[in-house]
Amino acid sequence: MKKTVIILFVLFSQLSNAAWLTSFKDAQKLSLASNKFMIVDFWATWCGPCKKMEYDSWSDKKVKLVLENYIQVKIDIDENRGLANKYGINSIPNMFVMDGNGKVVYTFSGYHDAEELKKELEKFELSIEFLSVDLINFYNNNNYNTALRVFQKYLDYSLFVDKDVRSKIINIGGDYLSESKKLLSKKAENYVEIKQKIDLYNYAYDYNYVKLNDKLSSYKDNDIVENNLNSYYFLKLIVAKGLNLSSLKQIEERVMKIEDFGYFEKKIDLIFSEKRIN
Active site residues: 47, 50
Instruction: Report the chain's terminal Cα–Cα distance, integer Å.
Output: 40
Strands 71-76 and 20-21: parallel
3-state helix, strand, coil in the chain (%, to 5): 60, 10, 30
What span, in angstroms and rounded, lies between the C-alpha atoms of 191 and 122? Answer: 41
Partners of residue 106 on adjacent β-strands:
97
Cβ(30)–Cβ(88) under 8 Å? no
What span, in angstroms and rounded, lies between the C-alpha atoms of 30 and 212? Answer: 37
User: What DSSP state is assigned to residue 129?
Assistant: G
Residues recorded for the chain: 278
* Residues ≥6 apart with Cβ < 8 Å to 184: 144, 191, 194, 195, 198
Stretch (H or E) spanning 98: strand 94-98
What span, in angstroms and rounded, lies between the C-alpha atoms of 124 and 63? Answer: 13
Cβ(103)–Cβ(175) under 8 Å? yes
Count, in order, helices (H) and strands (E) of the chain: 14, 5
